[in-house]
């Protein structure tokens, strides 16, 4: 990797805005501390996946804010959007989706063109790239492993925003590259049986669950809307 990156200042920031509440900021700082204590120092770079049972549980917001919290602690951090079917990180941080991860996995050689340096946040971002017809195969490819191995030499932590576990197999395919997974649960979204199925799939794939983030307890009151929305969202994942 070349040393020079594209410098960028976030616009229309919907993920790590300075207006984040004190309580939320402290919660992310606590998550950061827990993650730091989850690993030994004998590994140079830790690759952490962030996923959920189904859509709209807050995994992308958690990914972005965790990356920022780690950067504030002086760590070199790269946030990768691997949800190539329905990417949101670029929208939340206010820039284009491509070039990005998918472009690198189909042969683009210049890694630096797919990485943004967020000067106002202190961490780097690799967006999802153009939507490919075969995201599962790309995530499980030797090129993905080679890419992460190369990036690991330049960062202390790589945070990967993964697709939901029970909708597509992408997160499970990518799990072989991960040091562990942070699992996001939103009140009123996934049912107990769906969450249990997600845990079963992660256990079957030998994924280390580092911990859980619980969002929006009041959302449980609006479960009927959530279930209706989930059916519509599933179309984007081919469900």
Residue 32 falls inside a structural domain: no
Domain count, the chain: 1
* Cα distance between residue 141 and residue 137, in whole Å: 6
Domain that holds residue 185: 54-237
Mean pLDDT of 182-201: 93
pTM of the predicted model as reported, rounded to 2 decimal places:
0.85
* Cα distance between residue 59 and residue 67, in whole Å: 12
| pLDDT at position 185 | 95
How many CB atoms sit inside 10 A of residue 178's CB?
20
Residue 165 falls inside a structural domain: yes
Contacts of 210 (CB under 8 A, 6+ apart): 34, 35, 38, 48, 180, 181, 182
Residue 86 falls inside a structural domain: yes
Query: Which band of pLDDT confidence, cut at 50, 70 and 90, is reported for residue 6?
Result: low
- List, for residues 91-148, the tens digit of each pLDDT value: 888 888 899 999 999 988 789 999 999 988 899 999 999 999 999 999 999 999 999 9
* Cα distance between residue 80 and residue 5, in whole Å: 15
**Whole-number average pLDDT of the chain:** 85
CATH (domain of 224): 3.40.50.300
Residue 7 falls inside a structural domain: no
């Amino acid at each position: 990797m070349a040393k020079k990156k594209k410098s960028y200042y976030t616009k229309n920031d919907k993920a790590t805005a300075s207006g984040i509440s004190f309580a939320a900021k402290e919660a992310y700082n606590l998550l950061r501390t827990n993650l730091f204590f989850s690993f030994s120092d004998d590994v140079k770079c830790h690759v952490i996946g962030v996923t959920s049972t189904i859509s709209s549980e807050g995994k992308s917001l958690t990914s972005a804010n965790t990356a920022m919290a780690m950067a504030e602690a002086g760590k070199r951090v790269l946030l990768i959007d691997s949800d190539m079917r329905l990417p949101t990180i670029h929208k939340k941080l206010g820039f284009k989706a491509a070039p990005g991860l998918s472009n690198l996995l189909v042969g683009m050689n210049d890694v630096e063109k797919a990485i943004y340096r967020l000067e106002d946040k202190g961490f780097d971002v690799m967006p999802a790239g153009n939507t490919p017809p075969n995201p599962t195969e790309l995530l499980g490819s030797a090129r993905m492993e080679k890419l992460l191995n190369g990036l690991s030499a330049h960062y202390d932590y790589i945070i990967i925003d993964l697709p939901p576990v029970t909708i597509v197999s992408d997160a499970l395919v990518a799990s072989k590259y991960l040091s562990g997974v942070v699992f996001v649960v939103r009140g009123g979204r996934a049912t107990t049986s769906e969450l249990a199925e997600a845990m079963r799939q992660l256990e079957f794939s030998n994924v280390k669950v580092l911990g859980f983030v619980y969002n929006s307890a009041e959302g449980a009151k609006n479960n009927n809307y959530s279930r209706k929305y989930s059916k519509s969202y599933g179309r984007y994942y081919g469900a």
